[in-house]
Amino acid sequence: MAESSERRRESGFHQGSAPHMAGRESTRGYMLDVLVALAPSLLLSGLYLFGYRAFLVAGVSVAGCLAFECLYCLLTKKPQTIGDGSAVITGILLAFCLPVTVPLGAVLVGDFFAIIVVKSLFGGLGKNFMNPALAGRVFLFSFPIAVTAFSAVRDWSGWQAGVDAVSAATPLEALRVGTLPDFSLLELFTGVRGGSLGEASAALLLLGGVYLVLRGVIQPRIPLAFLGTVAVLTYLFPPAGLAAADWMLYQLLSGGLVLGAVFMAPDPVTSPVTGTGQVLYGIGCGVLTVFLRYYGAYPEGVAFAILIMNACAWGLDRLIPRRGFGQTWRERWGR
């Protein structure tokens, strides 16, 4: 095995950074599939829940990400990479993490941090060690009032009225104090509640996840391990006086958990590549999410949990090494 590895090195064979795709067209196809999976949730937010400003926030976020990536390539005299579509996905995912009332200037600040600091300065697509959109969202906690003021849903009047300054409580704020939200489980599942753009509808996000699995874009291990861990822990440790099943379901359907589990955590660049590593990664995300929701300074812990596990992904792949072709289990563990 060592001899064959040496031969590959001598021949110039090397493994590049994730995602491992055949070429630029494959990368674009991957990003297009993610865009298709996200589109129903964005349409629901703009046409039904929050009004036209949902499209404005998403559009500004995408434009900002494209502009910063283009500018970085120009300044560093590197080939333009905006055609691969990754900046578009980063812009949409960042917008999905924000309330519709967020100032557009704050959106651009998040874009800058996501594209320039987290992605480009680490070498570009495939070399960033944490999810750029989530990193941009966490950086925007520097502006807590701007990114934690949530608007109430406006039903069908949202298209004409847009969003005003009406603030609304989110389900996570009720869960944080140990009570169940006023929303029904059906409303949480279908999307009739306040929150960030990407918290619109668990049903549409899960539908997008099924599409990505069927297209082979993501493996189901991470989302299932993530959501399953949250389900088990919240069922076992509900507040006193609340039914365990109700508490578990409200925790699963509230906040950005489904968005994070389906679209953020399985990012092929920042998650493990081995099957065992992916399961451990998903479990870690779930444990940290529950811990941060119960004891953290903010009601939501999904973004922090995923970013922490992003930093652990490299180690998880090496914790349980893969068995090579023709290799015994004893050789795999170096015994």
Where residue 23 falls among pLDDT bands split at 50, 70, 90? very low
Whether 257 shows a pLDDT value over 90: the answer reads yes
Higher pLDDT, 215 or 148: 215
Q: HSE-up of 253 (CA within 13 Å, CB side)? A: 24
Higher pLDDT, 155 or 59: 59
Query: Mind listing the pLDDT tens digit for each residue in 314-334?
Result: 898 888 766 555 555 455 555
Selection from 73, 94, 71 nearest residue 196 by Cα: 94
Structural domains in the chain, CATH included, are 27-156+170-319 (1.10.3430)
Q: HSE-up of 4 (CA within 13 Å, CB side)? A: 4
pTM above 0.75, yes or no: yes
Q: What CA–CA distance (Å, rounded) separates 300 from 294?
A: 9
Whether 218 shows a pLDDT value over 60: the answer reads yes
Higher pLDDT, 246 or 181: 246
Mean pLDDT across 175-197: 84
Where residue 92 falls among pLDDT bands split at 50, 70, 90? very high
DSSP bridge partners of 258: none
Mean pLDDT across 26-49: 89
Cα of 84 vs its chain's centroid, Å? 19
Q: What CA–CA distance (Å, rounded) separates 332 from 155?
A: 57
Mean pLDDT across 196-220: 92
Comparing 133-142, 165-174, 221-230, the range with the smallest average pLDDT is 165-174
Selection from 278, 288, 133 nearest residue 220 by Cα: 278
- Other C-beta atoms closer than 10 Å to the C-beta of 9 total 10
163 phi and psi angles, rounded to 5 deg = -125, 130
pLDDT value, residue 94 = 97
Question: Cα angle at 87 between 81 and 89, to 5 degrees?
Answer: 135
Whether 282 shows a pLDDT value over 90: the answer reads yes
Instruction: List C-alpha distances in Å: 27 to 21, 70, 169.
Output: 6, 18, 39
